[in-house]
Structure 1
Amino acid sequence: MASAQQATLINGYIPGTIGRIAELHGTYYAKHWGFGLYFEAKVATELSAFLKTYDPQRDGLWVVVKNGCVEGGIVIDGSHAWDKGAHLRWFILSDALRGSGWGRELVATAVDFCVEKKYPQIYLWTFEGLHAARHLYESAGFRLVQQHKGSQWGTEVNEQQFVCRLPVL
C-alpha cells in the first residue's frame, strides 16, 4: 500500500497514455474474460479518436502515474453531455494499484468534474461480473438502468448501462 500512495494523479494527456491505457485493458480483459485483439484495438482506436477532439473545458482525462508509468486512468467524454449525458469511459487500474483506493479516487474525480460542469447525468457501459467496479460505481451514485446480451467488445457478455443523475445546482 505504501508504494501505491507514491502514485500521482495527473489531469490531462501525457505521452504514452493511449498505448498504456489500451495495454492495461487488453491484458486485464484477456486474462480474466478472454477478450482478444478486437477489444484492445477498439480501446486504442476509440481512445485515440477521443483524444484528437479532447477539449478540457468539456472533457476529462485523468491518469495515475507511478515511477513515470501510467498505472490507471478514467475519461469523461462530455461531447453529448447535454442530450445523452457525459460518458464515463476507459476506467482501469493496473494490478499494482487495484485495492489501493485509486479506483475510488478516479471515479470521484470524474463525478466531481461532471458536477462542476453542471452536467445533468453521467452514463457508462460495462458488463456483468465486474463486481469491484460495480461497487465503486454504485457507491458514487450510479444505478443500473438496462442490461442485455451483447458483443460490442468482441465477446458476448451481459452488457450493462449505469446512470448517475446529478443534482442541478
Structure 2
Amino acid sequence: MVRLEDYGTWEEALRRLEASRKALLALLREADSAWLATPLGEGAWTPLMGAEHIALVEDSTAQVLRRLRRVAAGESLPPVPFVPGEVKDGKPQAPEGVRPKGRLSLEEVLALLERARAFLLEEADPGNPATFPHPFFGELNPLGWLRAAAYHEAHHLRGLQASLR
C-alpha cells in the first residue's frame, strides 16, 4: 500500500521530483530508439508512452493545484464531479484524460515533460489549505498532490528501469 506521507515534507517531495526527473530524462536520452518504441508487454505501453503519461499526469496535477490556489483565494468555481479511479487486476488504470496517445517523438515527449514540470512548479503553493479528491488517494491538499506526483513518476521510472535489466 502506498503511503504518500512517506514522500515527506514539501521540500523533500520537491527533491524527489527533481531526482526522478533527472533519472527519467537520462534514461530516455540514452535509450535505444527501438526500446523506446517497443511495448513493455502484452497490451502494455511503450517506454515513450509511459513518459508521455507521466507528463500528462503532471499537467493534470498542475491544473488541480491551480484550482486549489484559486479556491484558496476566494474564487467561486463550479464543482467538478469526482470520478473514482478504476482498478483492474489489482492495478490502478490511468484515467482517460491522462492516457498517452503514443504519437509523439522523443523530442516531443521531452518537451512535454519540461512544460508539465514548469507548470507544476508554477502552481505549487505549500501554504494552501484547500483540498481536491484524487481518483486513487482521496481528498488531498497541495502537499498531498505534490507527493502523489513524486510517487507517480518514481513508480513509472522504476518500471522502465526494471524493463532494461
What TM-score does the superposition give when structure 1 sets the normalisation length?
A: 0.23
- Which is richer in helix? 2
* Greater relative CO (CA pairs within 8 A, separation 6+): 2
- Which is richer in strand? 1
What TM-score does the superposition give when structure 2 sets the normalisation length?
A: 0.24
